A and B are shown apart, each in its own frame.
Chain A
């Protein structure tokens, strides 16, 4: 760097302290990241030693016999996250497309602003709203409609009894929660598309949807995938919004209407009264969640880095 020419400025003692101090604070980030893994692994060790790999594929959950398995929680996390992303991604794609491309400014500016503010609302509010308002609504209206009117109950994964709680409800609440985040990123992606590209497509006679689908989406595909990753990362570890509406039962998921659990919900629900090997298995669940979200984040980071490098070259 040009401005720290050592011949002109005497390297003072105070500046060395300054650099070491700031550097130490920065390295804290890397150390904390490492500390997460070390700490959780250390406390999960008794459980890892006792149950081995079976912990990952066992669905047994018996506090009396002290036998625990993570499969219901892992599957629950995957199912709720999957539902959330499946709902939130197309909806936020269309919402942000509309807000950026075709809505008039008097509409899109306040709505974008409102969406940004909604991203700030704490997850426990979503959970509470889910418990007191949305679960009864699901039970009385949505689930009977899906099961009886649309006759989905004869299809596997949609059968069984329903009481409003469960995977579908959690997935929808999660989708509502991540929608503002995903649509914020997608709006940025849509705005990045050069207007020359869009204008020439319009000039060639394309309709607005064709411009969006063939030009904007293909130009911004990689950025859009980044948005999906972001939503995925949010949804996978969300605790409070899910805890209130999942039902918290340790069973293998058989139907989307059924109550179940996720890793985060299991942790929050059982941690207070857990002791010994039980607590250790909960730490192992935490470690699994950490590894899952770590992988998602690393993939997202590498992906975004690659995009910005390619954008820089072109």
Chain B
């Protein structure tokens, strides 16, 4: 064995420790820097009119983000309606019928791969599917794009959560004569309910901050999002993109920061509540 001097080894050890403290400090400091910028610049934009007025065209003062906020909520709800049911059902199939089957493995593999596909590709895919064929951008297309991103995430978390339910529960439900679907929905899913809710909430948190897929599908507009199925629909993230990059006005930049703070806040709240739900359940059981 190679011999190294004690002093050298100690020096390396201490310097690595110092280096790691330095790196952790830098990483945390940069993160705090980002959050501080978003908070301090975003809060400047906050006012009553910011939350109740719709966005206005360039140069017109005192616009808000109300329509974009509503649009983001509607598009996300649309994505949940389209993406969550097949995700849950597919997850049930994987955990209840296809634990070790070949088909199950293929599906699992493609869901894992799909989770890593860039969101802009999902946007491009839905653009080709819905926008190109119908010749108009729409909030609905945005919902579909987000649901395509959500679907594999929910599929996999559902499967993981249901697999944690012990088989004895399934067996006793079937033993008292329940049909398979009834046993799955009212026994297995119920036992895993907090996990399922966490999975769905995390998926929502993940897609509600997406911008790239919406650029190709929902686009943006200054109107209220009442023409969800046929017209470009306002949403927070694309509005941030427009205000931050395509506008020379400082007011617009401030409004973009305000919108950024709103979306960050929503996503952090979603994430923290997921953790709390899951943690409470773990402690309870």
A residues contacting B by CB (< 8 A) are 1-4, 9, 12, 14-15, 17-19, 21-30, 32-33, 35-36, 39-40, 42-43, 91, 94-95, 97-99, 102-103, 111, 114-118, 120-129, 131-133, 176, 179, 207-210, 212, 230, 233-234, 236-240, 243-244, 264, 267-268, 271-272, 283, 286, 289-290, 293-294, 296-298, 300-301
Contact = CB atoms under 8 A, between A and B. Distances in A.
21 contacts: A26-B89, A26-B104, A29-B107, A40-B124, A91-B23, A98-B20, A98-B24, A111-B24, A118-B31, A120-B268, A121-B34, A122-B211, A122-B263, A127-B244, A128-B244, A128-B260, A238-B118, A239-B118, A240-B212, A243-B245, A244-B244
A210 B237 contact: no
Contacts of A243: 245
Interface stretch (B49-57, B61-69, B173-181, B190-198): B173-181
B278 to A, nearest CB: 12
Given A3-B174, A207-B10, A290 B117 contact: yes
A268 B97 contact: no
B277 interface: no
B116 A300 contact: yes
B161 interface: no
A120 to B, nearest CB: 5
B90 A244 contact: no
B241 interface: yes
A22 B206 contact: no
Interface of B: 9-10, 12-13, 16-17, 19-21, 23-24, 26-28, 30-31, 33-34, 37-38, 41, 85-94, 96-99, 103-104, 106-107, 109-114, 116-121, 124-125, 127-129, 132, 148, 151-152, 155, 167, 170-171, 174, 177, 179-181, 184, 205-206, 208-212, 215-216, 237, 240-241, 244-245, 253, 256-257, 260, 263-264, 267-268, 271-272
Contacts of A99: 24
Given A28-B90, A30-B110, A301-B112, A208 B34 contact: no
B117 to A, nearest CB: 6
A30 B101 CA distance: 15
Prevailing SS type, chain A contact patch = helix
A228 to B, nearest CB: 13
Contact of B120 (A29, A239, A297): A239
Contacts of A25: 85-90, 93
A240 B260 CA distance: 13
Contact of B121 (A98, A114, A207, A289): A289
Given A128-B256, A240-B211, A301-B112, A283 B124 contact: yes
A30 B86 CA distance: 13
Contacts of A294: 113, 117
Given A26-B94, A294-B113, A294-B117, A95 B24 contact: yes
A18 B184 contact: yes
Q: Which 8 A-B pairs have the closest CB atoms?
A: A237-B118, A122-B209, A22-B93, A26-B90, A25-B89, A98-B20, A18-B181, A207-B13
A173 to B, nearest CB: 10
A273 B240 CA distance: 20
B121 A233 contact: no
A3 B170 contact: yes
Nearest to A88: B27
Contact of A122 (B179, B256, B264): B264
B152 A21 contact: no
Contacts of A111: 24, 28
A285 to B, nearest CB: 9
A14 B178 CA distance: 11
Contacts of A98: 17, 20-21, 23-24
Given A239-B119, A267-B120, A121 B267 contact: yes
A40 B119 CA distance: 14
Given A36-B117, A210-B9, A264-B118, 4 more contacts: A25-B90, A33-B113, A120-B271, A290-B117
Contacts of B16: 94, 208-209, 212
B53 to A, nearest CB: 22
Contacts of B93: 19, 22-23, 25-26
B120 A121 contact: no
A129 B245 CA distance: 12
Contacts of B113: 33, 294, 297-298, 301
A22 B211 contact: no
Contact of B179 (A12, A91, A131, A301): A12
A43 B209 contact: no
A268 B128 contact: no
Contacts of B148: 32
A40 B128 CA distance: 8
Contacts of A1: 99
B261 to A, nearest CB: 9
B204 to A, nearest CB: 11
B38 A9 contact: no
Contact of B110 (A3, A29, A124): A29
Nearest to A102: B17
A22 B20 contact: no
Most buried by B among A14, A22, A103: A22
Contacts of A39: 125, 128-129
A243 to B, nearest CB: 8
A83 B160 CA distance: 34
